[in-house]
Amino acid sequence: MHVYLNGRILPEKEASVSVFDHGFLYGDGIYETMRVYDGVVFKLNEHIGRLYRSASLIGLRIPYNTEGIKAAVCKTIIANGFRNAYLRMTVSRGHGDIGLDPALCPEPTVVIISRELREYPAEYYKKGISVIIAKTRRNLMQAIDPRIKSLNFLNNILAKMEAKKLGAYEAIMLNVDKKIAEGTISNVFFTIDGMLCTPSVSCGILDGITRGIIIDLAKKRGIRVREGRFKKEDIYSADEVFITNTTMEVMPVSSVDERQYSVGGMAKLLRGLYRAEVKAYAADIRSKGEAI
């Protein structure tokens, strides 16, 4: 595997970051995860836009313009030769003396990693995955703005550890007000009497790109959508539950704690619509000659 590091494509073993990098020392940095479908990076502009938003919110200067980022992404994908890939771009504050002052770091560190995408097991989509409601609360949004896709992931890791201990695949976190927020790596959806429900961004969640697409697709299909503030009892009483993110797309949930669910028609419908959206997007990019 080859890694993009500060303008260079390097073999994995040669791609190293300083132990004085503030991303390593303090989790001071941001990232984006993207998915490549047969040489097309899905919603690349949206991911780049969110990367710049995260950078702006922590006062981090990204050393490339939009076209520079696109070129770096293309170089990384081509160097690895994967037509279908997982792509992660990380921008840290960079190398600097020990201390919290961002001014200690003269230049940010930019890393892009591309790995061949291995599809989630078909069984997961057929039967669903198990989920728990974690005891670990979502970070208070007044402390860390959830719009920042930050390298500081300890909050999510602690919730993931809870899930793993109980044999579950994912954990849903509540916020300080005991309202449903999000999963450790996902946004949460559920249905009640045909209405599609999902936590509002006011609950302290990251406004996932896949989440936004699913909401738009549902509304275009005439499905009632409610973005609100929900208690865990609301999800326990739901007809079906699913989670979303860039790589898993739409993943049905078979259980939340002790509550069991069938893989319902809403998840199947929206996954099909999402796949059609991906196909149409990829066709448009290819027609413009912008595929890799």
Annotated catalytic sites, by residue?
A: 149
Q: DSSP assignment of 57-126, as one string?
A: HTT---SS-HHHHHHHHHHHHHHHT-SSEEEEEEEE--B--SSS-GGG-SS-EEEEEEEEPPPPPHHHHH
Find out whether 118 and 279 touch, Cβ atoms under 8 Å.
Answer: no
Q: What angle do CA 274, 279, 284 make, to 5 degrees?
A: 125
Contact 28, 92 (CB under 8 A): yes
C-alpha distances (whole Å) from 125 to each of 66, 163, 191 are: 35, 19, 17
Structure tokens given for 204: 């302290």
User: By three-state DSSP, how is residue 3 classified?
Assistant: strand
